[in-house]
Each structure stands twice: as C-alpha cells, then as structure tokens.
Amino acid sequence: MSRNFIPCLGLVLGAAMIAGTPAQATGTITAAAVPQLAAAMSGTLADRIEELWATSKELADTDIDARMDGSRVILEGQVANASQRQTAERLAKRVKGVTEVDNQITLRVAGASPEGTKGSVLAGDVKDSAKVTADKSEDALEKTGHAVEHAAEATKDAVVAGAHKTKDVVVAAPVKIDETWITSKIASKINADDALEDVDVDVKVKKNVVTISGDVPSAALRDRVLRIARETEGVASVIDNMVVRAGSQP
C-alpha cells in the first residue's frame, strides 16, 4: 500500500509546469494544464485515503490500494476478514472530494497467498457459498427422511408378510392323529352320510385298531360303515361286531 503524501500545492504547480504554462500572478492556469491538474488531484485523494488507512490499527497488516476514476475511488487488494473490508470502505468515504466508492477488496482465504486473487472470495461469495451449503444440507435431510419412511414401510410389509406366513404354517401343521381323533373322524363321516341315517353303531379305537359294534338295517349298510372306517387316516385295522337286524334285507 502506498503511504506517500504529496501536498496539493506541489501537485498543482507540477501540473502547470508539465503543461508548459506556469501559473499567472492571479492563480489561473491554461486549459492545457487541466488534465494534468485533474490527475494530480485524483492522486491526492487516493493518497489521502491511504494515509487515513495507515492510521488504522485494524488495517495495519492489510494489502490494499486506492485508485481514482474521477471523483470515484476504487478499492483493491485483500484483507483477512469482512470487518477490515468494511473499515477500508468507511474511511475512504470520509475523504472530502470522494463521491463514490467501488469496494473491490476481497477476503483472503486462510492459507492462501496474498499475491493475486486466487483462493480469495468476496463477502457476497461467502454468503452465497453458505447458502449453497445450507441448501445441500436441507436436501440431504429430506432424502434421509424419505429413506427412513421407506424403511419403515418395508419393515411393516415384512411384519405383515411374516404374520401371514406364520398363519399359513400353523394352518398347514399336521394334526396329531390319536385314538380320540380317529374316533371323532369316523363318527363324523357316519353322521354326515344320509344313507346311514338309520344306523346305530358304537365306534371304539385302541392302538389304532377300530372296533365297530351295533345294529344295522342291512349288510350293504354294514359294508358302507366298514369302508368308512378303513379309509380313515391312522386306522390300522377294523373289527366288525355289527349285527344285521332280523328281517332286514341282506
């Protein structure tokens, strides 16, 4: 940063001499000296800004410069934080004659070289970067929520499917075939057969051997009862103690 202060009067006289038209006793200068005078005054404003910066402890280690474009000052260089950037702009606006400040000072990223602007960002860029990061975090959170929701639905479906399978297994499980089951099965078949409506028999089972006793109207119905007993699951053999009623058809 330039810190040389050039007195305004010296600049005016220098500009007049460059133009080859020394100032008259009245203090006026020729038109040819106006451009040089304007440039000298612009340089003076920039120097005043930099002199003011030099008095600020906050800007002691900064690498910034001021250059004039008419009465508009352009601030350039790099600083460590946004506070230094704002301080440089605020001090520049305090210099009389400055009508506009174009703050192009960038923020230096930690570890980046102060030379050039590579690795540095404007304060606005920092804000935009933070917004992008926040948006990405929000998207990630939304995706996580959807994943949890899908996982919950999948778990629910698995539980329901498991319950159905368990139910099917229970229904399909083999029934224990014992004497009670065989007795009940034969009696149910006989009672369900309309042709055996007049049959009055007693069914007993011991060690899977079925003994049937009682009266039957005919030999055909007796054979029908015996067939039902023999076809029942779990029956090893059938003992026929049935009696055909007297006077009945064979």
CA 160: distance to chain centroid?
28
Q: Which two tokens stand for residue 133?
A: 């990061």
pLDDT given at position 182:
94
Which residue would you say has higher pLDDT here, 72 or 156?
Answer: 72
pLDDT given at position 118:
44
Note the pLDDT tens digit of each residue in 195-230: 888 888 899 999 899 999 998 888 898 999 999 999
pLDDT of 171 strictly over 90 = no
Tell me the average pLDDT across 147-165. Answer: 71
pLDDT given at position 122:
52
Q: Which of 36, 35, 30, 31 is nearest to 14 (CA)?
A: 36
Instruction: Give the dihedral sign, CA 94/95/96/102.
Output: negative
Report helix, strand or coil for 5.
coil
Tell me the pTM: 0.33
Q: Which of 70, 68, 88 is nearest to 79 (CA)?
A: 88
Which residue would you say has higher pLDDT here, 237 or 108?
Answer: 237
Report helix, strand or coil for 212.
strand
Average pLDDT, the chain: 75
pLDDT given at position 200:
86
Report helix, strand or coil for 81.
coil
Q: Which two tokens stand for residue 80?
A: 């460590």
Domain annotation for the chain: domains and CATH numbers? 8-127 (3.30.1340.30), 179-244 (3.30.1340)
Tell me the average pLDDT across 158-175. Answer: 61
pLDDT given at position 152:
74
Note the pLDDT tens digit of each residue in 47-104: 999 999 999 999 988 999 999 988 899 999 999 999 999 999 999 998 988 899 999 9
